[in-house]
Amino acid sequence: METDKTELSAWEAETVRNTVRLGFWTFAWVLSLAIATFGPMFIWESGTLFSVLAIAVNLVFGVGMILANKRHLQGLDEMQRKVQLEAMALSLGVGLITGLAFSTVDIVNLINFDAEISHMVILMSITYAISLAFNRRKYQ
Amino acid sequence: MKNSLKVLRAERDWTQAQLAKELDVSRQTINAIEKGKFDPSLPLAFKAARLFGLSIEEIFVDGE
């Protein structure tokens, strides 16, 4: 079997395409979120049609990102998919459990600041990154 | 699950990357299977068996 090391197989090429596609949709979603958030402060006045449109565009890009992520996952090989799904499951569980607990301590006034959704997103992202690194190491 | 993937690959003088390309998986996955850290699915095991011209039982052996 003589295979050129530099030449990508069809599966590898498809994985690269799926990753690039996911990167594009993620970038578009983050950018549209920034525009929807900061637009009313710096570009247009709040409560206008522009805000509605910006949020609608953000939602559309969000759907695109979800579909791109699904396609990316389906394109991975079975071990890569297992690693990703385990990291996602853990970050979802941690986000749900600690997010609701965090919200509750805010409601019953155990903390003197507001529980923001961004805190949960940061926690989920950190959990996902750590879990991914741990799982990759586990199968090395 | 034990397997003789590494031996079969060495007999043919194939690298992990070459075998990975033939089986449409990553090199890391081949490495994990060879080390017994990851058990392949039935379709992947069949694919490997077809590639080496052997039966699944001749490559993969049940047991810790």
pLDDT digits 0-9 by tens, A91-104: 999 999 999 999 99
pLDDT exceeds 60 at position A119: yes
Asked if the structure places residue B20 within a domain, the reply is: yes
Q: For residue A82, give the chain B residue with the closest CA.
A: B38
Span A53-66, mean pLDDT?
A: 97
Domain that holds residue B43: 2-54
Provide the β-strand partners of residue B2: B61
Looking at residue A7, its pLDDT comes to 76
- The minimum CA-CA distance between B34 and chain A, rounded to whole Å, is 11
Q: How many domains does chain B have?
A: 1
CB contact under 8 A, A79 and B18: no
CB contact set of A68 (below 8 Å; sequence gap of 6+): A18, A21, A22, A24, A25, A26
User: Where residue B62 falls among pLDDT bands split at 50, 70, 90?
Assistant: confident
**Domain assignment present for B40:** yes
CATH of the domain at B35: 1.10.260.40
Residue B64 belongs to some domain of the structure: no
Residue B29 counted as domain residue: yes
| pLDDT interval class at B1 (50, 70, 90) | confident
Domain-embedded: residue B26? yes
Average pLDDT over residues A13-17: 93
The mean pLDDT value of chain B amounts to: 94
Q: How far is the CA of A75 from the CAs of A12, A27, A80, B37, in angstroms? A: 9, 20, 10, 22
Quote the pLDDT of residue A1: 56
* CB-based contact, A9 to chain B, within 8 Å: yes
